[in-house]
Amino acid sequence: MTFSASPALYSSLRRQMVDSQLRQRGIADQRVLAAMERVPRHEFAPERYRDQAYEDHPLPIGEGQTISQPYIVAVMLDALKLAPTDKVLEIGTGSGYVTALLAELTESVISIERHESLAESARALLAVLAYSNVKVVIGDGTRGFPEAAPYDAIVVSAAAAEMPPALITQLGEGGRMIIPVGSEDSQQLRLVRMENGQLHIELRELCRFVPLIPGVGS
Ligand code: SAH
């Protein structure tokens, strides 16, 4: 059975999500809250999970991958203090949900995905939703995307045992990176800042992401 709801119901579910899961838990960046109130998360969910799109948990998207829980997405975007003029690199496009949020919040987004099928669906959906400042690249995100470096912000949506050195070298002066680091079942978000050529690392929330896997393919 498929679930179908009116756009008005979806926007009301989205408002409730932003209020109870994000604002009340301390997400303060008004631009992040507004973007999460605008982007239709249900469009990024597979049809059979659409009725759960605004619930407080991750959702499966195929290929053993997931769209992160709304709160964790908000924590990452909030920590980055994104400016409308920022150039952003995302590793792990997945469904394209976070890519759409980044496209709302910044000037340009390059997003890398190692699974061709996920990259293609995300690319198609982002085009339908008219996000024109986004480029989805099929590739290995552990190498970053040096062609367009340096970046003002880097978002890594898959967990690494160590921070990939290539990503650090692609951060511009004043650049920020948010990345989950740790083993399969124990990870913590790290907020990395490049200031005066020096790296500052802050430990943030505990989290659980799918692994960052080097190389391209299944
Ligand atoms: N932010 C995404 C979440 C995707 S889950 C969303 O909103 O849907 C993490 C994604 O990272 C998966 O799609 C996985 O295939 C991808 N991934 C894992 N290792 C990668 C790598 N080395 N390069 C690029 N993408 C990678």
DSSP assignments along the chain, one per residue: ------HHHHHHHHHHIIIIIIGGGT---HHHHHHHHHS-HHHHS-GGGGGGTTSSS-EEEETTEEEPPHHHHHHHHHHHT--TT-EEEEE--TTSHHHHHHHHHSSEEEEEES-HHHHHHHHHHHHHTT--SEEEEES-GGG--GGG--EEEEEE-SBBSS--HHHHHTEEEEEEEEEEEE-SS-EEEEEEEEETTEEEEEEEEEE--PBP-SSS--
Task: Please list the active-site residues.
Answer: 68
Question: Residue 171's pLDDT band (boundaries 50, 70, 90)?
Answer: very high
Put simply, whether the predicted model's pTM sits higher than 0.95 gets the answer yes
| Residue 19, domain member (yes or no) | no
**Contact predicate 94/118, CB 8 Å:** yes
Tokens read off for 135: 């480029």
Determine the Cα–Cα distance for residues 93 and 172; give it in Å rounded to an integer: 21
Pocket of ligand 1 (CB under 6 A): 61, 65-68, 91-92, 94-95, 97-98, 112-115, 118, 140-142, 157-158, 210, 212-214
Q: Kindly compute the dihedral angle of the four CA atoms of residues 28, 191, 116, 208, in this order, to the nearest 10 degrees.
A: -80
Question: Residue 2's pLDDT band (boundaries 50, 70, 90)?
Answer: low
Residue 61 CA, closest ligand 1 atom number: 8
Tokens read off for 31: 């631009």
| Residue 194, domain member (yes or no) | yes
pLDDT tens, position by position, 25-42: 999 999 999 999 999 999
Q: What is the pLDDT of residue 208?
A: 92
Q: Count the domains in the chain.
A: 1
Ligand 1 atom 4, closest CA: 94
| Residue 40, domain member (yes or no) | no
CATH for 67:
3.40.50.150
| Residue 25, domain member (yes or no) | no
Ligand 1 atom 23, closest CA: 141
pLDDT tens, position by position, 90-149: 999 999 999 999 999 999 999 999 999 999 999 999 999 999 999 999 999 999 999 999
| Residue 42, domain member (yes or no) | no
- Ligand 1 pocket mutation, candidates 115, 138, 154, 162, criterion most atoms within 8 A of CB: 115
| Residue 37, domain member (yes or no) | no
| Residue 44, domain member (yes or no) | no
pLDDT tens, position by position, 39-93: 999 999 999 999 999 999 999 998 889 999 999 999 999 999 999 999 999 999 9
What range does the domain containing 195 cover? 58-207
